[in-house]
Structure 1
Amino acid sequence: MARRRGRPRREEAEQIDRDLLSHALEHFLDKGFEATTVDAIAGSLGISKRTVYKRYGDKEELFKAALRGAIEEWLAPLETLLELESDDFEETLINVARHIVTTLNSPAGVRLIRITNTESYRMPEIGSLLYFRGHQVWSRYLVDLFARKIFADVSPVPDLEDLAGAFLNLLSSPARLIAWGLQADQPDLEEFVRTRVGLFLHGVLPDQTTGPTNP
């Protein structure tokens, strides 16, 4: 006996929602918020506009939901960072930096940065969304890492949030330049990561421990 038509079952409804957010994200990333229409999104899925509006109310709420889902998929869980740690702090920092740079410079990362930069002037909350679900998660992890690995027995402890922010800023410049269209090529990952970690840990001045060199 054929199943009676009516409201979709829970599994079907959840799949429709996943498909809707996925299609919506592609439209928004490809065309931008203003040029994207609910008609086009619904048509690409073969569903009605009414179904879209019933779930998300309006285009702006759909955009935010699609962006939120994309950020959740883009970012690896905290456990991934913890698994990169080793007994050697510099090697740990290189591993973590490599992961962060790879994530930022991925096609998904660049597209998210690009659309957030474009639309956040009108919807500031989407900038906050990317910050709190991305940058701040990494920042909190780094604060904890620095506290455990460097400053456990040091007093006074410097502003660890400031240190974490400085480190993330060193890593994020290529992704921003690519998103802005100012840089076409990806940097050499290993060279970039090791240079930035070395700069963060040792600064730019030569080692002064050996004293001045006579001419």
Structure 2
Amino acid sequence: MRQIIAMGGGGFSMEPENLLLDKYILAQVKNNLPKICFIPTASGDQTNYIERFYKAFKTLPCQPSHLSLFEPEFINLESYVLEQDIIYVGGGNTRNMLILWKEWGLDNALKKAYEKGVILAGLSAGSICWFEEGLTDPLNAPLYKLDCLGLLKGSNCPHYDGENKRKPSYHQSILAGNIKEGYAVDDGVALHFINETLSASVSSRPRAKAYFVKCVDSEIKETEVSTNFLGR
């Protein structure tokens, strides 16, 4: 079974006192102590980010580790990735992350892990990367389309309610035919795909939503995805 859990935002990165999404990710593994590996490439392996990951996940039933491409400690990259139960990708600069992954061969290792049944998860850049295309935001510049790994069809726009320029930019890009139709996801929402099909949408915030966005007769149509609040 192939699984991807793509978060618009949230988890320990954005809600350190609310780990509902992180707990949901761990719960998808039958092992009582799943191996979860954090990949912080998009942040440039920011030390504080890595520390926050360990602070959160050491309170949960799992075996946390992280994979650095800036200060690598692995002997064989592919073997290290394939021995994990969960790969959890952090946020940051999606374009830089994908370039580094390709240079190291991590993109191919992740694809092999996915086929093997390792759960792929992440937020923001760690959500965009699994789709065919994503909407990325370079510093002080307009958002633009980015080609990604293509494990999931269509496009992805995280932080749909959390960053003012996301929604209008995503709409404009779809209307202009510059990006494929796809999923827009609020902060605090995770889309759970099983075998490339959306299986569930869950949230850590009561009013957070996700939408499938497409162009119909030269107009944007948003279809709300039924989302289960995990706090109930």
- Answer yes or no: same fold by TM over 0.5: no
Query: TM-score under structure 2 normalisation?
Result: 0.24
**Greater fraction of residues in helix:** 1
* Greater Rg by CA: 1
Query: TM-score under structure 1 normalisation?
Result: 0.25
Q: Which has the higher contact order (CA 8 A, sep 6+)?
A: 2
